[in-house]
Structure 1
């Protein structure tokens, strides 16, 4: 079922055809959003999660008594949006379409049924959340102990790797982000980001044209980013031991 965006699920195991059918049937609706349109706003009642089919989405929350929003994450096709909020009564984040975006709406009660009726998919989703936790840990460590060049390089390599996951990767990144959002994501000020991009250009690591960034030397950028060497588990024995055919009855 090529129309189901399953990149994140496929990181850890290969879903069966029936599992993909189950995933597709979880949705109650499909919605499209224009660039900068709000998908869900911080403080709303928790009712749904969203499977991102196409486009980029930003996640942010209010800081400084609501005077500004802090970008905390970029979402790409295949991501399940809104998962952190299912532990709460009100949404913890604001999700905004950074590009024209299409999502599948999954009511949380249907998401809950995945744990009973398609346990391999549920465990894979759990693994994705643990991966996100590790990424957050790495990001916090980077903000505390790395240079501005390393932080910006790490952000560029993170986007590059995520795009590579679903086959849309090249050495050209068309970032639908303002300089302030890049600064938020890298833990820097907007002025510092502008200076750092200039340093990377002078080092012949990137070139820029508007919001388009061309990666001139990916190997050197990877080295500069200094990512921890983390290899994701693939087909773990405790996951493959679970039946591949989900229970499809009511």
Structure 2
């Protein structure tokens, strides 16, 4: 069976059976193409389907009263999108494509079926939700307590960790389709400030800036600049997985 991004993502948490892989693969049916910069949904829309991101990159954001925006998260292939809106009457943020991509919609009832059919997958879904929360907490620390140089380096390194978990064969040197304006909106910095930081990083040979994003040349040095501690990305879910395994054997 071909291993898609969503399956690789879930396998990074725990070994999954063939039937569970088929369940996950069913969430990547009915693919729909989306163009770069197209809106998938807008803030305030009525929640409908969840989505798995089969190809391409996307990002969630909030529009602010003064016409600016805050980028909340960046999604890479294999991510499940929309869980944040599960219990709300309207979308709490908008979703827009960062690149051309493919999204697969699945209704809320399908997610409930997956939960009912596999306790292990249910545990992993909850772990993914917890991990997303941990990323947002770290983003708050990044916004409030690090220098602009550290913020940018930390954001880039964190994105690398997330790509490595979901993308089957990451390109080397690693290319991230992140624009400076998006990074500025994610980190609460001005575009001019981010540009200045990138120029410093390029002068030091740590990154390059092709027209389609940013290419990382020295990940080790970027980690040092960011003082990157990946603890918040390293879950300890063995107890939950062990309990799920016991139920699977019944």
TM-score, normalisation: structure 1 = 0.88
Distance 1:217 1:239 in 2: 36
| Runs of 4+ deviating beyond 4 Å | 243-246
C-alpha RMSD over aligned residues: 2.2
The residue that corresponds to 1:228 in the other structure is 229
Deviations 1:193-220 (A, max 9, x none): 0111111122332232334433232111
The residue that corresponds to 1:54 in the other structure is 55
Distance 1:218 1:243 in 2: 37
Matched, 1:35 2:36: yes
Q: For structure 1, which segment, 145-154 or 8-17, has the greater mean C-alpha deviation from structure 2 after superposition?
A: 8-17
Instruction: Tell me, yes or no, if the aligned pair for 2:179 and 2:214 is still in contact at 8 Å.
Output: no
Distance 2:216 2:27 in 1: 38
The residue that corresponds to 1:45 in the other structure is 46
The residue that corresponds to 1:205 in the other structure is 206
Distance 2:34 2:146 in 1: 36
Match of 1:170 among 163, 169, 172: 172
Q: For structure 1, which segment, 182-191 or 197-206, has the greater mean C-alpha deviation from structure 2 after superposition?
A: 197-206
- Deviation of residue 224 (structure 1)? 0.9
Instruction: Tell me, yes or no, if the aligned pair for 2:154 and 2:228 is still in contact at 8 Å.
Output: yes
Distance 2:36 2:10 in 1: 26
For residues 1-250 of structure 1, the aligned pairs below 5 Å read 1-2=1-2, 4=4, 5-26=6-27, 29-64=30-65, 67-165=67-165, 166=167, 167-175=169-177, 177-230=178-231, 232-233=234-235, 236-243=238-245
Distance 1:235 1:88 in 2: 27
- Deviation of residue 189 (structure 1)? 1.0
Distance 2:154 2:94 in 1: 24
Structure 1, unpaired ranges of 5+: none
Distance 1:112 1:223 in 2: 42
Distance 1:243 1:62 in 2: 43
In the alignment of these two chains, the number of paired residues is: 244
- Deviation of residue 223 (structure 1)? 1.0
Instruction: Tell me, yes or no, if the aligned pair for 1:12 and 1:232 is still in contact at 8 Å.
Output: no
Instruction: Tell me, yes or no, if the aligned pair for 1:154 and 1:227 is still in contact at 8 Å.
Output: yes
Distance 2:109 2:211 in 1: 43
TM-score, normalisation: structure 2 = 0.88
Structure 2, unpaired ranges of 5+: none
Distance 1:82 1:157 in 2: 24
- Deviation of residue 3 (structure 1)? 5.2
Distance 1:143 1:115 in 2: 35
1:47 is paired with a residue whose SS is coil
Which is richer in helix? 2
Distance 1:37 1:203 in 2: 35
Distance 2:97 2:24 in 1: 23
